[in-house]
Amino acid sequence: MTYSIRNLIIVFLSLIPFVSFSQRIKQSINTSWQFHRGAEKDDNKKGYWEQVNIPHTWNVEDVMDDEPGYYRGIGWYQKELYIPEGWKDKNIYLYFEGASQVAEVFVNGKRAGVHRGSYLAFSFNITSLLNEGKNTIRVKVDNSHDPDIPPLGGDFSVYGGIYRDVYLIAADKNHFDMDNYASSGVFISTPSVSEESASVQIRGKVSVSKKVKITTTIYDKEGKEVAVSETDPDKDGSFTVQVKHIKKPNLWSPENPYLYKVVNVLRDAKNEIVYDEVVNPLGFRWYHFDAEKGFYLNGKPYKIMGASRHQDFKGMGSALSDALHINDVQWLKDMGGNFLRVSHYPQDPAVMEACDRLGILTAVETPGNNQITESEGYTHNMLDMQREMIRQNYNHPSVIIWSYMNEVLIQPLYKDKTPEREKYWKNLHELALKMENLCQDEDKERYTMIAFHGDFDLYKKVGLIDIPKIAGWNLYQGWYGGKFGDFETFVLKHHKEFPLKPLIISELGADSDYRLHSFSPVIFDKTQEYANLYHESYLKIIKKYAFIAGAIVWNLAEFGNESRQEAVPHINNKGLLTTDRKPKDSYFIYKAALAQQPFVKI
């Protein structure tokens, strides 16, 4: 190379700004944990600890065996963790996608924090507790019944353990906020969307020690840049980005689940260092519920049809791999479903990502199931869960409804009139109002729902039907008593008495054991033929009335419930799929009606 060419290259290289990257590292730490069930003993003798991988639960055999009851108590997990030397200047977090139901985390014997509630993520900044090199993490998990922690009851098992993924995150000192209820630190909404144009708003917070800038880029599915914007955060680290006039957005819907990508990059003011980056999906869609005409998506009438789902699989309890979570969403999609009621609690991030990607609309629900207590602790925990749920799931375009209670007046105890019961009703009403207001504060766009069941007049009297934007009714006429025709009578009554309240059938279903058949099916016989008759008769009515915005089958799959001693093994048999995901006849009834394979007229 001649001297002059070399000089030219040097001059050219010096003109390119040097950018160094110090982005966050997210490592799975699911493998090789030590576990034992029972209170802690300072005991390292052989056989005391067993080696497990996460996701893990300790209740699988308990729930399925013939002994009534299952272990609700303490379990301990421990793991050694090596921190690389290069992480000296990093902020290090432990991130749990979920542990059931109270998790207390210790690092090298010092307490990092505690989290209450089985179904939401939490993270602890453990930087100051770490040694360079070897460290020990211990997690005490307790799934004992606690009157302050929902759910207090329900037709499902509260499996104990670290049953969702765990990560170690190393971030630069300057990073998108991770302390905000384990959210991604950015909140993306679409204040206006039409076929012609769309706008995007991004609110967020960064933890920073110096002057920084945020660059927001929106990419389409093919990776083409659609919009770029630069922002300086305020002194407290908060920032808002407005992106206007995105022309002719490709609209997201179940038929076309088109996802854009929003990349937020945090860097120093001179653009020399990239500190952090967060990537989120973005879907452009608009929707509304009309009490008379039902649901509208992207300007067109659209019937919501889908199922609910528990995080439960044969032989695994709640400790499912991401692949099994995703498979369930695929089963629903293949059936022609367009909706998942994520109930009775928020579920794994893999479920929500699959719903965005495959085009399944969702209602996500806090576990306020069956009953409440009036204690301050309970109210506090319910509201906290609602806040965590909204912040952690805010950026999923599939979410259109936040739901916050299920069958809270089911207990016969709450039906009669005594001063105590009046007090219960009053507390319930107050709590529902608080939850509704919290949803409005956290999220201006989405709808809200409570799922009711049982005594219409009692719910009306307590004033609960007035509170959420949508009324959900769990209806089992022709299964838990009554006859199929009572379903139609009930929905007409609701519509007449609450003509301004949009209605979703939040549950419908009948038990069927996939081994049982009959030429002359009758109520409660658990044959597949009876369940088929039930579903066919409901489908006709759902189709007949536009004011029924949607209907959600209980349940996509059968699930374990220890207290269902009448079914062997102890499961709820209302699934369209068995616990190991074999489709029953009723799955094909829906597939025929919704995916029209083969075409059946209903």
Binding site for ligand GCB (CB under 6 A): 154-155, 344, 406-407, 453, 474, 507, 554, 572, 574
Closest by CA to 326, choosing from 345, 343, 313, 314, is 313
Q: Which is nearer to ligand GCB, 502 or 575 (CB)?
A: 575
Number of H-type helices and E-type strands within the chain:
10, 32
- How, if at all, do strands 175-176 and 166-171 pair? unpaired
223: buried, middle or exposed (CB in 10 Å: 19+, 13-18, 0-12)?
exposed
The tokens 């059931």 sit on which residue? 100
CB of 574 to ligand GCB, least distance (A): 5
**Chain residue whose CB lies nearest ligand GCB:** 155
Q: Which is nearer to ligand GCB, 67 or 566 (CB)?
A: 566
CB of 565 to ligand GCB, least distance (A): 14
CB of 479 to ligand GCB, least distance (A): 8
Q: Which is nearer to ligand GCB, 190 or 474 (CB)?
A: 474
* 407 labelled catalytic: yes
CB of 406 to ligand GCB, least distance (A): 5
Q: Which is nearer to ligand GCB, 170 or 470 (CB)?
A: 470
Burial pattern 568-601, b for ≥16 Cβ within 10 A else e, equals eebbbbbbbbbbebebbbbbbbbbbbbeeeeeee
Half-sphere exposure of 170 (CA within 13 A, CB side): 15
Rounded Cα distance, 53 and 136, in Å: 16
Q: Which is nearer to ligand GCB, 55 or 151 (CB)?
A: 151
Q: Phi/psi zone of residue 273: left (φ > 0), alpha (ψ -120 to 50 degrees), beta?
A: beta
Choose, from 365, 388, 407, 562, the residue flagged as catalytic.
407
Q: Which is nearer to ligand GCB, 325 or 344 (CB)?
A: 344
CB of 98 to ligand GCB, least distance (A): 19
Rounded Cα distance, 89 and 130, in Å: 12
CB of 103 to ligand GCB, least distance (A): 25
Contacts of 332 (CB under 8 A, 6+ apart): 306, 307, 309, 340, 360, 556
Contact (Cβ atoms closer than 8 angstroms) between residue 298 and residue 251: yes
Contacts of 379 (CB under 8 A, 6+ apart): 431, 434
- How, if at all, do strands 175-176 and 74-83 pair? unpaired
Catalytic site positions = 407
